[in-house]
Amino acid sequence: MTADPALKDRLTRAADLVPVDVGAHLGHLYGDRRARVVRQRIGVFALTAVVALLAAAIIWRLLPLGTANVPVGPAAPSGTLAVMRGTLTGSDGVEFAAVAYPVEPGGAPRTLARTAGLPVWSPDGSKLAYVVGPNHHVDLIVADADGAHARRIATDLPTFGFAWSPDGGSIAVRTLTDHGARVSLIVVGTGDVQDLPAFDGDWWNLAWSPDGTRFAFAGPAGLWAQDLDGSHRQTLVSDLHVVNPEWSPDGSVLAFGCRPPDDASDYRYDICTVHADGRGFVRFADWAGWDAVPVWSPDGSWLAFASDRGATPAQVAQNPGGARLEGVTIYLMRPDGSDVRRMVPASDRYELVPTDWRA
């Protein structure tokens, strides 16, 4: 079977736009070979040592974290988490579903949408928003809280998360202009779009304060907050790569994931918190792996987050450079970093990332 001439022409014209510097790549390849061989030899020794150490550490750590040890009583967390569940689908990759997970032990998960990312309920709990499609090209969907009556309200967004307005009437998303990112508000009822003035700075995630007056922006150089009209910019965290900020229910504290900006592996993240006035920054660095995507309990007394701290030693060893993060599941902790507990055992068939929490 030979090439289709018409398709070949279209594909070739598009592919020719991809810049390729053959000489530079060839020089880089030769220069990289010696370092690569050395790294491989060191890696064999290092991997053996790391696996042995991690196995001991994880066994020590997991024993007190089993669900059988979760205390019950007034301090116990409750409610339901919206969770993004990634399931392997053979060679075609990973499919994401939106699933409701009861926080109390013994509750059965319930699928809200079979293909969905970043499910988040509206502030009043009556609607569910989520995205479908690959990064940079997602469609925004709004459905009833149980996933029924889904409808697409925006398409092909270059968004990295979105934020419900406190009144539930609109959703803020990141859109792109020739001059950088800006915030666009999508009216849930009509799908109408209102573009806000451009906000300075390189950012990819935003969060909307509970009182409706401020956005928090997260990006490669830190975290800051601004009024909706762009005024009163305040740096909250600098010199850190910040992702997925979320305001506490009373608006006094922000939780987020962070890592040093120069960490090229892009693997180790820690849960961090900072007060809304920029004081009291805390980084919970007790796990040298992937802790990210914190979400607040409705009463503000707990944080749920995603972590690979329960992964097997083999998974932990491959996660920094592997094709996917394995062994990721849901953990809970107090906002001061205490009382860390695993909510759902890790699985070798799927990963779980919490994205919202309602009563």
Q: Which residues bind another protein (CB under 8 A)?
A: 1-4, 6-8, 10-22, 25-26, 28-29, 32-33, 36, 84, 86, 91-96, 117-118, 131, 134-138, 156, 159-161, 204-205, 218-220, 241, 243-244, 257, 266, 269, 292-293, 306, 323-325, 351, 353
**Dihedral angle computed from the Cα positions of residues 320, 326, 330 and 333, in that order, rounded to the nearest 10 degrees:** -30
CB 261 within 8 A of CB 239: yes
Is residue 248 within 8 A of residue 257, CB to CB? The reply is no
**Residue 86 neighbours by CB under 8 Å, 6+ apart:** 94, 95, 96, 350, 351, 352, 353
- 12 three-class SS: helix
CA 272 from centroid of its chain's CA atoms: 14
Quote the least distance from Cβ 135 to another protein, whole Å: 5
Nearest approach, Cβ of residue 353 and another protein (Å): 7
Q: Which helix (H) or strand (E) holds 11?
A: helix 5-15
Q: How far is the CB of 285 from another protein (least distance, A)?
A: 17
Question: Looking at beta carbons only, is 159 or 297 nearer to another protein?
Answer: 159
Q: Is 228 or 243 the residue whose CB approaches another protein more closely?
A: 243
CB of 56 to another protein, least distance (A): 28
Burial tier of 91 (Cβ tally within 10 Å: 0-12, 13-18, 19+): exposed
Residue number, 84 or 103, with CB nearest to another protein: 84
Q: How far is the CB of 160 from another protein (least distance, A)?
A: 3
Closer residue to another protein in complex, CB, 105/220 = 220
Residue 14 exposure: Cα atoms within 13 Å on the Cβ side: 5
CB of 80 to another protein, least distance (A): 21
Cα dist. 332→244, 277, 284, 304, 338 in Å? 17, 25, 13, 4, 9
Cβ distance to another protein smaller for residue 155 or 235:
155
Q: Could you tell me which residues are beta bridge partners of residue 152?
A: 141
Name 51's Cβ contacts closer than 8 Å, sequence gap at least 6: 313, 314, 317
Task: Name the residue among 173, 78, 188 with its Cα closest to residue 128.
Answer: 188
Cβ proximity to another protein, 36 vs 114, nearer residue: 36
Shorter beta-carbon distance to another protein: residue 161 or 313: 161
CB 177, min distance to another protein, A: 12
Distance CA(145)–CA(112), nearest Å, equals 8
The distance of closest approach from Cβ of residue 273 to another protein in the complex, given in angstroms and rounded to an integer, is 18
Q: Rounded to the nearest 10 degrees, how much is the dihedral formed by the CA atoms of 239, 243, 247, 253? A: -30
C-alpha 245/C-alpha 243 separation (Å) is 6
By beta-carbon proximity to another protein, the closer residue of 188 and 353 is: 353
Residue 149 or 179 having the CB closest to another protein: 179
Name the 3-class secondary structure at 244.
Answer: strand
- State the minimum distance, in angstroms, from the CB of residue 14 to another protein: 4
Q: Minimal distance in Å, beta carbon 98 to another protein?
A: 12
Q: Nearer to another protein by C-beta: 29 or 56?
A: 29
d(Cα 290, Cα 353) in Å, to the nearest integer? 11
